[in-house]
Amino acid sequence: MSKSQGDTAKPLLEVRELTKRFPVKSGFGRPVRQVHAVEKVSFSIAPGEVVGLVGESGSGKTTVGRTIMRLTEPTEGQILFDGTDIAHKGAREMLAFRRRIQMVFQDPFASLNPRARIGALIAEGMEIHRIGTARERAERVAELLDLVGLPSDAAGRYPHEFSGGQRQRVGIARALAVSPSLIVADEPVSALDVSVQAQVLNLLQDLKERLGLTILFIAHDLAVVEHFCDRVIVMYLGRIMEIAPRRRLYSSPQHPYTEALLSAAPVPDPDAKRDRIVLEGDVPSPIDPPSGCVLRTRCRYALPECARTVPALREVGPGHYKACIRDDILPDRTINGGEKNAS
């Protein structure tokens, strides 16, 4: 197994060989089959770090996030939060950890009571965890509204009175209310218009700097995490393909899958030439993923041996890891690429 990343500071979160397989019903008399949603995923997050988790639909990002929150039970593996393995803790023991890990969802109101006022929604976590008196909670709500850039009278209003961007500000205030150590943000801007996306990303960036937040930021697309994350983890079909400090990942991707993802992203400057690398074929079924490297059926660099063993995640540069056996395909541009400090 590879070393953990971010190994200078003691990690706030360390996920070791996390695996989640969902049983799926099949026809009568046939054996139960499994969706291989997440397979042996290992990574860590240092305090104050923002780590992006990126991959196409179905790659297992939400499952990783939900498993860390224990909204989904892991099949195997460890989830070390501040040194304690929370992967198999019971509901009562989890309560304290639940406060310290908060989630921001794509649609923060999907599961909330539409008839509750914004103030009550923001204060809910504080009530569950018995933080402060009613008055202190009201004061904290006012403080949080200001922090996320909403007017103070928002507390008495209802969710339907707010735009998508404002609702996401409420979602962020709700998560921050209990002063969590870690925020898992699952595609928090994916449902928003591009201009509003930028505003919410700026808010998160600002909060990160002011409050020293630690965030696992899940996104579909590499462009969203480019200006925000310290490191990026790239997943495909339940497995980690590459992990790298942000600048290294964008300037010098080392995994064929990252190369393809980057080449698919829109280029802001239309004159900038970029070869478009298209992955062949469709994503295979997670019920029956390919043997060896899961990308091999779509990889233009695949060799026969890629079908035989699952490639280990190995270090190929400072803080840069990839799960690919080939070293002769993608140039390391960081050597001459004006990269001063990789971490």
Residues at the site binding ligand ATP, with contacts judged by CB under 6 A = 22, 35, 37, 55, 57-63, 220, 286
Within a 13 Å sphere around the CA of 94, how many CA atoms are in the beta-carbon half? 16
What is d(CA 13, CA 82) in angstroms, rounded to the nearest whole number? 6
Work out what residue 37 binds among ligand ATP, Mg ion, none; the CB cut-off runs from 5 to 8 Å by kind: ligand ATP
Work out what residue 35 binds among Mg ion, ligand ATP, none; the CB cut-off runs from 5 to 8 Å by kind: ligand ATP
Tokens at residue 281, please?
Answer: 């074929």
Of the two residues 59 and 297, which places its CB atom closer to ligand ATP in the complex?
Answer: 59
Q: How far is the CB of 53 from Mg ion (least distance, A)?
A: 10
Q: How far is the CB of 197 from ligand ATP (least distance, A)?
A: 16
- Asked if 325 and 306 count as a contact pair (C-beta separation under 8 A), the reply is yes
Of the two residues 185 and 294, which places its CB atom closer to Mg ion in the complex?
Answer: 185
Of the two residues 172 and 235, which places its CB atom closer to Mg ion in the complex?
Answer: 235
Torsion of CA 73, 74, 78, 79, to 10 degrees: -50
Phi first, then psi, for residue 32 (nearest 5°) are: -65, 135
Q: Does 297 bind Mg ion (CB under 5 A)?
A: no
Q: How far is the CB of 71 from Mg ion (least distance, A)?
A: 12
Phi first, then psi, for residue 232 (nearest 5°) are: -130, 135
Q: Does 67 bind Mg ion (CB under 5 A)?
A: no
Tell me which of 62, 168, 214, 254 binds Mg ion, using CB under 5 A: 62
Q: How far is the CB of 53 from ligand ATP (least distance, A)?
A: 8
Binding mask 13-52 for Mg ion (x = CB under 5 A): ----------------------------------------
- Asked if 50 and 217 count as a contact pair (C-beta separation under 8 A), the reply is yes
Secondary structure E strands in the chain = 13-24, 33-45, 50-54, 76-81, 84-85, 101-104, 182-186, 214-219, 231-236, 239-245, 314-317, 320-322
Q: Which stretch binds Mg ion (CB under 5 A): 57-65, 115-123, 156-164, 333-341?
A: 57-65
Work out what residue 5 binds among Mg ion, ligand ATP, none; the CB cut-off runs from 5 to 8 Å by kind: none
Of the two residues 62 and 297, which places its CB atom closer to Mg ion in the complex?
Answer: 62
Q: How far is the CB of 63 from ligand ATP (least distance, A)?
A: 3
- Asked if 256 and 78 count as a contact pair (C-beta separation under 8 A), the reply is no
What is d(CA 289, CA 295) in angstroms, rounded to the nearest whole number? 9
What is d(CA 183, CA 138) in angstroms, rounded to the nearest whole number? 22
Estimate to the nearest angstrom the gap between the alpha carbon of 117 and the chain centroid. Answer: 29
- Residue of closest CB approach to Mg ion: 62
Residues at the interface with Mg ion (CB under 5 A): 62
